[in-house]
Structures are given as structure tokens and as C-alpha cells.
Structure 1
Amino acid sequence: MTVRVQMVRFAFVGVVNTGTYYACYLLLLNRLPYVVSHVVAFLLSMTGSFFLHSRFTYRTRPTWRKFLFFPLTNAANFVITTSGVYLLVDVLHFSSRYAPLFAAAAAVPITFVVSRTILLRPDNDRSRRDPEGAPAR
């Protein structure tokens, strides 16, 4: 599968993930405070995002190791968008109303690279290998 196909699938999963987050948030908001609704919806959508990106975007096997590293993609996105908003508003004097949109667009390729690195990284589980390094049967 080419990187271009992976990028298109990455964007598609992003749209699905955003819709999932928002639907969960609205459902939870009926019974929970908005902050709790946001956190739970965010965690649920991030979990769904992990599995969708693993299976659909990158066609790789999800593992616990990858799952534990996957939140780094959100951390990268947060750092890039926050820095970008600051740069656009305070340094370049863009409107604070539109700056997050430009910063988010700039974060997508970097988030793609981080998620690709995490999810396509081979798991080196030594407990499943024999002393010669071949997979155990």
C-alpha cells in the first residue's frame, strides 16, 4: 500500500473519529458534566482511532505495546496546534478565530508520520522467540 493511500485513509479515519467523539460527547452530556463527557468521549474515540488506524489505515496487527504508545500521536497534535496557534496569533497577527484551523491543518501531516511510525513499528517481543531469534512455534 502506498503512502498516498495511507494518507487518504488516515484523513478518512480522522473524520470518522471526530464524528465518533462528538456523538459520544452528546450522548454522555445527557447524564454527565461536560468535562467528564469530553474526557470519556475523547478516550473512547482515541481507542476506536487506534483500532481503525491499525487495521484500516496501516493494515497492521494492533498490539498492547502500540496501544500504549498511540497517545503520543495526540500529544504531538496538541503540541503542534498549540504552538501553531500561538505563532499565528501572537507573532503573525492572524485572527484568533481562524488560527486553530490553520494550525490543525499543519498538524495533520506530522500526526500522520507519528502514527505511522508507532503503528508500523515491529514489535520485538523476545519472549516469543527462541535463542536464535526465530519466532517460537
Structure 2
Amino acid sequence: MTVRGQMVRFALVGVVNTGTYYGLYLVLLTWLPYVAAHVVAFLLSMVGSFFLTSYFTYRTRPTWRKFLLFPLTNAANFVVTTSGVYLLVDVLHLGSRYAPLIAAAAAIPITFVVSRTIMLRPDSRRAGRDAKPERASAR
């Protein structure tokens, strides 16, 4: 499993996750106020993203520990994009219309590293010799 392949699969999962979120949001919007629809759609799509990231991107077994750490990828994305938008608009005087797109693109590699760190870490409490790293199956 190459890092390049993981990056491509990571990007594909991001596209699927965005579509899933938006589709759920639109469906939920028929029954819920927009903020509630956003929160529920976000949480459901994040659960789906966890399993896609686990099985498809990194080809690793999902665990409760990884599931509970996975929201850190969204936190990293939020911090990088928010800081990036501020830097681009207030410091570099770029237009506020396109700054979020540039900041989001800059966040992808950082979010990838955070997700890779979470998803490929051994779950054994004994991080010594007997902790076996998870390997991709030969497909």
C-alpha cells in the first residue's frame, strides 16, 4: 500500500463524504430546521467517512479507539482552514470569496497526515515488540 495510493483514496473518500453530507442535509431539511439538519448530516457523514477511511483508504480494521480519535481529523481541518482563511484575507488581502477554497486545499495534506496517524496506529496498549502493525491484504 503506497502513500500515493492512500492519498488518492483519501481524496475520493472526501468527495464521497461531501456528497453524502449534502444529500443527507437536503433530506433532513424536509423534517428538521437547517442547523439540526446540518448537525445530524455532519455526524452521520463523519461515521460513514470513518468506515470508508478505515476500509477503503487505509485497508485497516476499524476499532473503537480509532473511531473516538477520528474527529481529530475534522478538528485539524477546521483549524487549518480557519487559520488559512484569516491569513489569506486579513494578512495577504486576498478576496474572501476564494480564500476558503485555497485554505481547504492547503488543509488536505495536513488532514491526511492526521487521519493516517490515527488509522494506522496499533491499538495494542503494549506498544512494544508484540504490537503488530496492521498490514494491507494482498489484493
Aligned length: 130
The answer for the alignment partner of 1:67 in structure 2 is 67
Higher relative contact order (CA 8 A, sep 6+): 2
What TM-score do you get using the length of structure 2 for normalisation?
0.90
What TM-score do you get using the length of structure 1 for normalisation?
0.91
The answer for the alignment partner of 2:83 in structure 1 is 83
Deviation at 1:125, TM superposition (A): 4.4
Deviation at 1:124, TM superposition (A): 1.2
The answer for the alignment partner of 2:98 in structure 1 is 98
Rg larger for: 1
Deviation at 1:134, TM superposition (A): 8.2
Q: What is the rounded CA distance, in whole Å, between the counterparts of 2:90 and 2:125 in structure 1? A: 47
Deviation at 1:20, TM superposition (A): 0.2
Q: What is the rounded CA distance, in whole Å, between the counterparts of 1:120 and 1:60 in structure 2? A: 7
Overall identity of the aligned pairs, in %: 82
Deviation at 1:110, TM superposition (A): 0.3
Q: Which runs of 5+ in 2 are unaligned?
A: 133-139
AA aligned to 1:124 is S
The answer for the alignment partner of 1:17 in structure 2 is 17
Distance change >3 Å, CA 134–CA 48, structure 1 → 2: closer
Q: Check the 8 A contact 2:124/2:131 in 1, yes or no.
A: no
AA aligned to 1:49 is S
Q: Which runs of 5+ in 1 are unaligned?
A: 127-132
